[in-house]
Amino acid sequence: MNSRRDVLKAAALAAFVPLLGGAARSAPTPPGALARKGALKPPRIRAGDTIGLMIPSSANWDPLELDVLLEALAALGLKGKLGAHVNDRYGYLAGRDADRAADLNAMFRDPEVKAIHCIRGGWGAARLLPLIDFDAVARNPKALIGYSDITALLLALHARTGLVTFHGPNGASEWNSTNVGWLKRVVWDGEAATFANPREPTRALVPTEHRTRTMHPGKARGHLLGGNLTVLTAIVGSPYLPDFTDSILFLEDVQEAPYRIDRMLVQLKLAGVLERVRGVVWGTCSKCDPGEGFGSLTIPDVLADHLLPLKVPAYYGAMLGHISTQFTLPLGVEVELDADAGALRMLESAVS
């Protein structure tokens, strides 16, 4: 994860386009943001379907992960089809950019493949964006599933084609009952689900796990967009960023010091993204503690600095991010955020 952060640090600096002009300008147009396209819903996954498996980012080093993934799909009545280059390696990447992009393009063109599950994240998906055949994606809409570095693909495919994409567990993530349950409800069954953290009974007097906290009360409706904060900010200023106007923004991250989270939220503010959203959901930021001595702002401090002035419904602690159990959130569909209840309610199915 550290290697991803180091490389993205340079990428974010290169991608950011400073805004020019006086203070009188309000809500500047995000550089490179594309006008919102109507949602293009992929077909739902059905028993017996073939799922394409590819790696757009960091190399896989453990063949057992692929064994587990193929067996998990088989247990769900699905067949897995590995990309031609899943076992390639080019330094920290899962092969050359052209080869990784070829796997992705081939899976969208392949009529046998009904959905695409990215095996792992890390770093490298953004390098593929100029090589993607977006016309093939639009002609052959399919569910693309993944998170973390896969955020670059989720946002770009939606921005360029309107395709509804899915921020959910990677193929190498844990195939536990919670993750499988959300995947099936949203992508298999086409349910217009409500995402609310469970309040499972514990030995404590009150629930202590999976808690959410309201930052600004209220409800808001909009199209759902977001993903990993580091990866999202790294493509600001590019032609692969969707229009965040009237959106519900969700964010998560991992292993980032609070000052880096602060810096990235400042970037979203300066780029005019934050001022356009109708509501915000923060998930988790694993290993993002302020450190010993507490001589730092905390993540709640930083969120308060940037989100409270927006005066839109917002809460944090949603079950998404680099955790073992997480939601499968569909990018591009209409949702209702209830900050008081700590919940997101889909207003439509994400699949056809």
**What was the pLDDT predicted at 33?**
58
pLDDT tens digits along 93-106: 999 999 999 999 99
Residue 270 — pLDDT band, cuts 50, 70, 90? very high
Place of tokens 């010091």: 257
CA distance 220 to 254: 27
As annotated, the residues of the chain forming the CATH 3.50.30.60 domain(s) are 2-37+194-346
Rg of the chain's alpha carbons, rounded to an integer? 19
Per-chain mean pLDDT for the chain: 90
Whether the predicted pLDDT of 35 surpasses 70: no
CA distance 200 to 202: 6
- Specify the amino acid at residue 24: A
pLDDT (average), residues 145-162:
98
For domain 50-188, give the fold.
Answer: Rossmann fold (3.40.50)
**What was the pLDDT predicted at 23?**
36
Token pair belonging to 295:
């001589």
pLDDT tens digits along 122-135: 999 999 999 999 99
Question: Pairing mode, if any, of strands 219-228 and 247-254?
Answer: parallel
CA distance 66 to 341: 38
Catalytic residues: 148, 252, 322
As annotated, the residues of the chain forming the CATH 3.40.50.10740 domain(s) are 50-188
**What was the pLDDT predicted at 61?**
86
**What was the pLDDT predicted at 26?**
39
Write down the CATH superfamily of domain 2-37+194-346: LD-carboxypeptidase A C-terminal domain-like (3.50.30.60)
Asked if 116 and 144 touch (Cβ cutoff 8 Å), the reply is yes
In angstroms, the Cα distances linking 211 to 59, 206, 284, 324, 341 are 34, 11, 11, 15, 11
**Overall pTM surpassing 0.75 (yes/no):** yes
CA distance 11 to 7: 6
